[in-house]
Structure 1
Amino acid sequence: MGINHPKFKAAVVQAAPAFLDLDASVERTVSLIAEASAEGAQLIAFPETWIPGYPWHIWLDSPAWVMAKGFVQRYFDNALQYGTPEADRIAAAAAKHRITVSLGFSERDGGSLYISQWLIGPDGQTISRRRKLKPTHVERTVFGEGDGSDLSVHDTALGRIGSLCCWEHLQPLSKYAMYSQNEQIHIGAWPSFSLYQPFAHALGSEVNVAVSRVYAVEGQCFFLAPCATVSEAMIEELCDTPEKRNLIRAGGGQAAIYGPDGTLLTPTMPDTYDGLLYAELDLGVISIAKSAADPAGHYSRPDVTRLLLNRTPAKRVQDMASPLDPVAEPEDTAQAQ
């Protein structure tokens, strides 16, 4: 008797965010969730820091300029926090439209921000929350770090889903940690390939699209690559000199979905396209790809190389008894009873 492998339609977002506007960001998110569901999608994936947009300002000038222009406070104030009415509205939209949502956003927690991905089930309940382990380059002036618990793959009705952000896909050991957990659907969120072109090839679309495609082949999984764009309105907001306009351009969207053999499953769109891209996923084809190369299974050599992975959540505060606290002696305890 054959096994019925999940088959479903998935959507990835290629669009400009409502930059530095939390309310408008939530509105756009809810609208795209409804649109994807209406087209029959059971999963929708949003780009890195979709809410409230990627902080491009940190790449364009000094930290002093970023603070003086008000970007630091505006970015913090418009980040999304779990347990707020804005977050609840997004979860409610997932439940209303019976769709699984992977949301990339700037997470506000206390006085810190994190590059986060929130996986919400079709019942509106949280499947997982993760943070980017190590912000890239000048991102470290804005965001804190995740920990080993963020390298996790989760069972869902659609299959085993995992997520990483942007240049986490250039970390070989992090990728291997994901492959080892039998990941079937990977959501790799990207911000936009609009920066420092053409003189920083590593930041461009050619390199990073290749990274997405290789991940699909290495892990023999479906790779969903949502990717934001930079709008002309964002350029006006960010650039107050001709020099800055030479550093960032409009467009930069390269959203795609790849099969476990590296096949491109979505149409190729202009990098300024604003909307959703769809593909049909058949998890049954994963076993065919795995038969050739399973990097954490039959194609591995653990006697030669292996990964040491610490998945314990990092606690910034560990409550413990003070050595000065009085400790009752056994006989005192007995008398007290």
Structure 2
Amino acid sequence: MAERLLVRALRGGKSTKIVTLNGKKITKMPSTLEKLPGLKTLDLQNNLIPKVCPEISTLTQLTALNLGNNLLEEVPEEMKYLTSLKKLHLFGNRIHRFASGACDGLKNLILLNLNNNLLTWIPEEVSRLKSLTCLSINHNQLASIPRQLCFLENLSELQLNYNQLICIPEEIKFLKMLQKLLLVRNNIDVLPEGFCDLRNLRILDIAGNIIQIFPPGFQDLKLREFYCEGNPLFLKQPVSAVKQEEVWNLQEITSRFIMNQLAEKNPFLMQAIAWYPQVRNTISRGRKCTICGKSFLTTWLECVEFVPPSKNWKISRNLQLVPLRILICSYKCFSQRGPNLFGIAQV
């Protein structure tokens, strides 16, 4: 059957646009595909193909390639020749690496599906997929994602469910077009502050992680759907604690003075700071107090503020309050806090 279908396609020559050979128990990609230079869609799903043939590099007009549910062990280097490719399905293989240069020519790729493989890492070269709008790598073994992935400025959907991620890079804030982010069943314990810059994010699913608290500003995201069941979120269960007066070291006192003077545009310090890179590096780690708005270097007390989720969010069942991470510079400011802000007990 597969041979008859292929012969029929070959008779069409340059006019053949679609070849579908799904579920034919093919063990080798047919090299005769090179005789179909006008091919637009190639479906080879549900076969036994362990690698692509070199002749695939001649299919420069191909826009959709489906090699899902085969026996591939890598994202092949030959992909770089498919310069017109827009959709690439590689789900359900045994892929555990990207071949060198595999991403080089895929500047028109908009969809990449790598679900159900064995990937433990993503190469930095993924940043070359400039047109990518949808990336799905569910059910792999990723422990991290490269910061370069966050420079895909057209990415609108990112799926990383059922991996082993422990963190999300701060650079995620650069995914300005991101609308859908799925991170179900990983080992993520904190979302970076830059997360709150994702102003186009509409769907967020972080169910089944180990997140306790969200970054400040999280409640202002314009989400439509938010799911977080299975996370050990902080609960509003206050207990009394003994007042602890702050004792600042010389670095903290100096840093606070410099940072707050710079905020007021002190001309002398603004000019002098250029000559002290170590000082610049130190104060770059400064934060602003939520209560007084002044800068500080060392976190005096990590706090949590409980706010109700937006009425516009479709949310997880029983989510009544969202815990937000709040930093405060001193006991003086802590004593001026609102009724829903509490210090986090160290146990």
TM category, shorter: under 0.3
Report which of the two has the higher share of strand.
1
Larger Rg: 2
**Relative contact order, CA 8 A, sep 6+: which one is greater?**
1
Higher helix share: 1
- TM-score by length of structure 1 reads 0.25
